[in-house]
Amino acid sequence: MLFLVIGDPTAAWVGTFYGKRRFSNGKSVEGIIAFIVVCTIVGFVFLYLSQNSNKPNFLKGEGFVLYNSLIFLIPAILVSAFTELYCGTYWNGLVDDNLLIPAVSALVLGFTAWLFLGVEPSTIFLNPTVLFLKMESIL
């Protein structure tokens, strides 16, 4: 949901005021880049704040699972950005991006956790604490 709530308006604002290179559907390269950058920052902040214990330095990766966070965030952010790009006009407005971005990013996060950490998707969506504990134990 945070990708949609923060990334979508940021992409629209940057695309409207600073967008110079446009796709055929009217969206801009600058807006998509803003979406990716903002969602990456929001994703790291969310993962950092949702950890159970206090971590000394989030930027250096001390005590914070930086590599594992990248494994989860990058695929979900890229798929969400492409969903934002293609959803509105390429699919003739049949599917709204406000519905699709949270669903697609959750599915990609779940699939990535299952693929790399072996955490069952039902556990991820029903008890996400298990995922965070598994991420911490890998370090």
Q: Show the domain range for 65.
A: 2-138
Q: What total number of domains does the chain contain?
A: 1
Give me the helices (H) in 19-96, please: 29-49, 66-87
> What is the model's pTM?
0.71
Instruction: Name which of 25, 32, 30, 28 is nearest 7 in CA terms.
Output: 32
- Asked if residue 7 lies in contact with residue 38, where contact means CB atoms within 8 angstroms, the answer is yes
Integer Cα distance of 35 and 120 in angstroms:
29
By the 10 Å C-beta count (0-12 exposed, 13-18 middle, 19+ buried), 83 is classed as buried
The tens place of each residue's pLDDT in the chain, 139 residues long, gives 778 888 888 988 998 898 889 887 778 889 989 999 998 888 888 777 766 455 554 444 455 556 667 777 888 888 888 888 777 655 565 667 777 888 888 888 888 878 877 777 666 666 666 666 666 665 4
Give the dihedral sign, CA 55/139/39/3: negative
